[in-house]
Amino acid sequence: MKKEMEKIVALCKRRGFVFQSSEIYGGLQGFWDYGPLGVELKRNVREAWWSDMITTHNELIAPEGAPKPFGMTGVETTIIMHPSVWKSSGHFDLFHDFMVDSKESKARFRVDHVSVAVAYASDQKPVACETYMADIGEEGLSKTKRKRLEKAIAEYEKDNNLSNSEEPQISVCNLMEYAKMLADAGIPATGKLEARCPDTGGELTEPREFNLMFKTIIGALSGEEGTAFLRPETAQGMFVNFKNVVDSGRVKVPFGIAQIGKSFRNEITPRNYTFRSREFEQMEMEFFCHPDESFEWYQYWRDRRYNWYIQHGINPENLILRDHTPEELAHYSVGTADVEYAFPFMEENEYGELEGIAHRGDFDLRSHMEGKLVREGDQLVVEKNEHGQPKYKGSGKDLTYFDDQTRERFIPHVIEPAAGADRATLAFLCEAYYEDEQPDDKGEMQSRTVMQFHPKLAPVKAAVFPLIKKAGMPEVAADIYGKLKKAGIQAVYDQQGAIGRRYRRQDEIGTPFCLTVDGDTEQDNCVTMRDRDSLKQERIPIDDIVAEVQRRIHG
Ligand code: GAP
């Protein structure tokens, strides 16, 4: 079944998973709120990650596939950090996109998302172009624009006494590549070769850099002195606390520091629902290890993180682990793989990133010791300013690690699994959505919408119903409900409407277990437990309900 994003979005609003931020004022692009069910779902996603990384981790034994036992610990660091952090890390200089604006409509676009279809004549010269303010790929050129380009080729060839191109050559690239191609060939971007806004036909500005970090002002200081940034990633909080954690804790390399927290990026084109937001939450872990063992640890974390999504209900058919090509790798990275999901808003065989697992070498700790690093050949060196001094000085603190068993001092290498809590939540929402047909109370087939969340992630674990609102059933049901709540199990109590309709309401929000108190309960002291996915109904003794629900959630 091809899932329709519109239906998922509508359900999320109708049942209280996700709302647009500040909706009554028209909303704010790139910002989203989680409603009563969404907040529970996202908390469960975070909890599943934290539990896997920290709570259930046993540092005395090597988990399956791990090269050896290792330590894990958590931190919670501030959203606003010393501005030097972002200068040393490279974000201040590098964390930007190139943008163009339509001069008339004022709409702003990422240069690498603007497509230019270029027509080449038989002498290989570019003669005309058509612009799209979107990534259209080779296939997306419209008939009208193709005709215009073919006409331009024919006119140019006629004017220049060239033989007619048998197959007019038209290729699509992005605006950045187009501008570079013209500049390299020494051809001015004027007339038919000028990329223009397709909506207004008007001019586009020159590409301009746009920093993605949100600026803010600390205290009463104004100007550069008081300028600080909302963090664009949680990772730097772990790097700058590496020494604190080593000095204060019992951890020894290899170990990981995990953190969950908000990050902010002034994305130019927030889109695809919560997928690309301006305020979002990350679940990042920095794993510090000996350089000689780093590649083994990279392989371990890459596979372990991919499996985490499958263990929590993502169908492997919809999930890929994609290794970056050498061209895609960040300048400091010797290996990166992305966990990617086939979101319903993507084309067939296209996937969106859920998480990146990167081998970052010693880039981060060195940057915070020495200052901003740049690549020179195969070396990372401190970037110098025009006076030959470090462009941005590091902290100057010693962030090396001394292994008191081997008596070796070294800068640990870092493996970083960096996941998005909102993207993971969106993937779990999309994956859970199903429509099927099930018999109603009278045995007639009815269509049903069901959210097949993994029980660990389901926002509500159990719903308790009295079959009818009399004969003592509401009291027994309320008592069971109270016991579930007391045990910390997310539950609801519902006595409104026919039992079939109550089941449908719970299916639509993904409640895995419905417990019904009926006419037999008084005699057998049992309730009917109905499973959302198999629809199997079983009698369970009231005294065992809490334990049974917990067993089914945690396996
Ligand atoms: N420390 C490395 C880092 O931040 P990233 O690939 O930029 O790497 C990690 O971000 C994860 O954070 C992404 O895989 C994605 O899940 C999430 N993420 C990044 N930008 C996001 C955005 N604008 N909206 C929602 N999630 C985002």
Q: Tens of pLDDT along 318-354? A: 999 999 888 777 766 778 999 999 999 998 889 999 9
Domain-embedded: residue 435: no
Ligand 1 centroid to Cα of residue 212, in Å, is: 13
409-447 pLDDT, tens digit each: 999 999 999 999 999 999 999 999 999 988 877 778 888
Ligand 1 centroid to Cα of residue 496, in Å, is: 42
Residue 97: pLDDT over 80: no
Ligand 1 near 235 CB (within 6 A): yes
Residues 6 or more apart whose CB falls under 8 angstroms from that of 446 comprise 437, 438, 439, 440, 504
Q: Which domain holds residue 254?
A: 2-95+217-428
| Residue 328: per-residue pLDDT | 77
**Rounded average pLDDT over 504-518:** 97
* Residue 110 and residue 222 in one domain: no
Residue 523: pLDDT over 70: yes
Ligand 1 near 283 CB (within 6 A): no
Residues 6 or more apart whose CB falls under 8 angstroms from that of 513 comprise 455, 461, 462, 463, 529, 530, 531, 532, 549, 552
Domain-embedded: residue 7: yes
* Residue 303 and residue 402 in one domain: yes
| Residue 222: per-residue pLDDT | 66
Residue 192: pLDDT over 80: yes
| Whole-angstrom distance, CA of residue 422 vs CA of residue 283 | 10
pLDDT-above-70 percentage for the chain = 99
Contact 233, 50 (CB under 8 A): no
Contact 405, 22 (CB under 8 A): no
* Residue 404 and residue 264 in one domain: yes
Ligand 1 near 459 CB (within 6 A): no
The highest-confidence range among 131-140, 178-187, 199-208, 510-519, by mean pLDDT, is 510-519
Out of 170, 192, 210, a domain closes at 210
Ligand 1 near 236 CB (within 6 A): no
CA dist list (Å): 281 to 75, 232, 314: 15, 10, 20
Residue 152: pLDDT over 90: yes
Ligand 1 centroid to Cα of residue 245, in Å, is: 25
Ligand 1 near 265 CB (within 6 A): yes
* Residue 285 and residue 397 in one domain: yes
* Residue 399 and residue 512 in one domain: no
| Whole-angstrom distance, CA of residue 217 vs CA of residue 227 | 5
* Residue 165 and residue 129 in one domain: yes
Least confident of 36-50, 257-271, 395-409: 257-271
9-31 pLDDT, tens digit each: 999 999 999 999 999 999 999 99
